[in-house]
Structure 1
Amino acid sequence: MNKIGVFFGTETGTTRLIAKKIQKKLGDDIASKPLNVNRITPAEMLQYDALILGTPSYGVEEIPGLQAGGQEANWAEFLAQLNLDKPDFSGKRIALFGLGAQERYPERFASSLMRLYEVFKGYGAELVGSWSTEGYTFEQSAAVVDGRFVGLVIDQRTQSMHTDERIEGWVEQVRPLLLEKIGVTV
């Protein structure tokens, strides 16, 4: 597919909101309408060579879903289907974003993001779009590798005033990498 696929899991709608902001920043001409992972199949995701995937954080390094106390299917159920299908994501380039609440859960801030990172890396995807931990206050996050988050992290609860600026900076960073993958020159 010659567009960037944007997919998210959500419980309260906040991750959907952030996915829509990211897609709008990229533009309709290069990014598909964001889709909830509880409404797609792995085959639909595999149609894209460049993807942006977003998740809220739940539990201690858990991925959101019914077993984590969610009200509807989410990433846990999608990843279970992915594990059955055993897809090949080699050749795919993926940028991740995750939500977290650093004051409420400082000991596991945005940790669900790491689960997506591990799963898609394990299926051969190239992950891009790490993000600085500067400006955040937390004790621990599984989503930090070599001093950086494995993707954009948004704290809409306590730092919503930084959301648009963070999205803008991150999109500028990942846009050329994702466009390159779909054959669009910047």
Structure 2
Amino acid sequence: MNKIGLFFGTETGTTRLVAKKMHKMIGDEICDKPINVNRITPEEMMQYDALILGTPSYGIGEIPGHGASGCFEPNWAEFFDKMPEAPDFTGKRIAFFGLGAQERYADRFCSSLYPLVMKFKGWGAEIVGDTSTEGYTFEQSAAVVDGRFLGLIIDQRTQGMFTDERIAKWLEVIKPQLLEKLTAAA
């Protein structure tokens, strides 16, 4: 695919809302419309060399899904159940975003992002788009590695007023990295 793939898992629709904001800021000419992972096959995702993947934060650091995290809607866990045993994401560049509530879940803020990123990294993907923890107040997050978040973190519940600005700043960084991947693949 010669566009950026934008996929997300969601439970309440907030991750979808953030993905739609991203798509609008990036533009339809270089990014396909965001699609919920419960509506695609792994083969559809594998067509893209540059991806943005988003997740809600449910459970205690698990990948969101029906199981331990208790999602009612099919989410990332159910998508992974459809994956081939050892998918190869080598050569693919992926940026991640995660949603969470830093006040309500200060002890595990956006921790579901960590296992999602590690799964794709384990499959050979190149991960881009880490962000600063500055401006957030929380006790612990598995999504913090070497003092930085593994991707863009959005707290729509208590810091919704910063969402558009955070997305725009993050896209300034990752958009050239993802476009570089598309150019190289063309």
> What TM-score do you get using the length of structure 1 for normalisation?
0.96
User: How many residue pairs were aligned?
Assistant: 183
1:71, distance to aligned residue in structure 2 (A): 1.1
Alignment of 1:63-78 (within 5 A): 63-67=63-67, 68-78=69-79
Secondary structure in structure 2 of the residue aligned to 1:52: strand
Deviations 1:97-145 (A, max 9, x none): 0000000000000000111110000000000000100000000000001
Question: Who is 1:161 aligned against?
Answer: 161
RMSD of Structure 2 on Structure 1 (CA): 0.9
1:62, distance to aligned residue in structure 2 (A): 1.1
Question: Who is 1:115 aligned against?
Answer: 115
Deviations 1:126-173 (A, max 9, x none): 000001000000000000011000000000000001000000000001
**Structure 1 stretches of 5 or more lacking a match?**
none
Question: Who is 1:143 aligned against?
Answer: 143
Note if 1:20 corresponds to 2:20: yes
Question: Who is 2:40 aligned against?
Answer: 40
Name the amino acid aligned to 1:123.
Answer: W
Q: Give the distance between the partners of 2:73 and 2:136, measured in 1 at CA.
A: 30
1:80, distance to aligned residue in structure 2 (A): 2.2
Secondary structure in structure 2 of the residue aligned to 1:158: helix
Note if 1:58 corresponds to 2:58: yes
Question: Who is 2:130 aligned against?
Answer: 130
Secondary structure in structure 1 of the residue aligned to 2:52: strand
Percent identity between the aligned chains? 70
Q: Give the distance between the partners of 1:162 and 1:180, measured in 2 at CA.
A: 28
The runs of at least 4 aligned residues of structure 1 exceeding 6 Å deviation read none
Q: Give the distance between the partners of 2:168 and 2:16, measured in 1 at CA.
A: 17
Q: Give the distance between the partners of 1:149 and 1:79, measured in 2 at CA.
A: 23
1:85, distance to aligned residue in structure 2 (A): 3.9
1:39, distance to aligned residue in structure 2 (A): 0.6
Secondary structure in structure 1 of the residue aligned to 2:82: helix
Name the amino acid aligned to 2:61.
Answer: E
Q: Which stretch shifts more, 18-27 or 73-82?
A: 73-82
